[in-house]
Amino acid sequence: MPVLTPLPQSAPVAAPLTLSVPEARAKVAAATDAVSKVLWGNRDAVRIILAAVMARGHVLIEDVPGVGKTTLARAVAKVLGCSFSRIQFTADMLPADLLGVHVLEPKKGEFVFKKGPIFAHVVLADEINRASPKTQSAMLEAMSDKQVTVDESSFPLPAVFTVLATQNPVEHHGAYPLPESQLDRFMAHLTLGYPPAADEKALVLSPQAPEQNLQAMPVILGAAEVAAIQTLVARVPMHDSVATYLLALVDGTRHHRDVALGCSPRGAIEWAALSRAAAFIDGRDFVLPDDVKALARPVLVHRLVIAGAGGQRELARQVVAELLERTPVPR
């Protein structure tokens, strides 16, 4: 049976909370510092994940086992201070294990809905590509519409809802490739790689340090504060010339000779949202072309379907690099 971490029942954000822009930025900076003390040598990945959360997006972390994917997701969830569930995906998991089921309540003599682990503010979907395509499809509605449908009844998810998913490369035993429709629901895709030599040596000399740091992490935000920051991020304006630049890159993916399926309109919208979040976190109330450019790889690589076989991710990275090189940057 699938391994499910017990879930404290989550509640929607109770009331709107007002944060000033300086307060919001200070809290996100503190959260970034705290998580960076757990995942050594990869501050850029921490920054992108927190930006995606503040842009109301989901993140897919793909890499070989043992490089800190789950530790990173757990650290982000803890620092956010929201309700949290960890789902270990397995081949025998069913959609009901994820969404919940109707059960008979003897005292009432009627069926009531028992929520599954998807009903949390932050959901760690660990090794998401080990589940069957049937279970993968159950994630689509939740990630896209913030609701689930069980037995013809729809149930809303919390107002703050983010999926942090980890997956092993599809070449690994027991892994299923995620369908394009599900990959497109992820705002950003990250790979962590191996840590720098100095950090890896420190891990060897003190192997319990990441776990100890994770346990000692402070809770810096909460669901209401995350929702308030999300509102502030959504208000960051994007100049017409920057939007034109972003869409030129998107259009380039659709007409590139090596790309069979380019970036979708949803991808363009989420790229813009993530760029707003990055600008906000960096202390600006406007988006620069450099924000768009810096986020091209996390936003595009997992969305591009390369014509032909083999090396999908690496070829997609090459396509993104080529498009950034040849697309004029607005001045």
pLDDT of residue 7: 40
Mean pLDDT on 293-309: 89
Segment 187-199, tens digit of pLDDT: 999 988 888 888 8
Range ranked top by mean pLDDT from 35-39, 231-235, 316-320:
231-235
Segment 89-125, tens digit of pLDDT: 988 899 999 999 988 888 878 888 899 999 999 999 9
pLDDT of residue 16: 59
If one compares 141 and 281, the residue with the highest pLDDT of the two is 281
pLDDT of residue 314: 81
Q: Confirm whether pTM is higher than 0.95.
A: no
Mean pLDDT on 246-259: 94
Percent of the chain with pLDDT over 90: 51
Dihedral of alpha carbons 88, 313, 194, 31, sign:
negative
Contact between 144 and 186 (Cβ < 8 Å):
no
The set of residues, in sequence order, having a beta carbon less than 8 Å from that of 167 and lying 6+ positions away, is 60, 61, 62, 127, 128, 129, 175, 178
pLDDT of residue 219: 92
pLDDT of residue 309: 56
Contact between 286 and 61 (Cβ < 8 Å):
no
In the chain, the domains with their CATH numbers are 3-234 (3.40.50.300), 236-331 (1.10.8.80)
pLDDT tier, 272 (very low <50, low <70, confident <90, very high otherwise) = very high
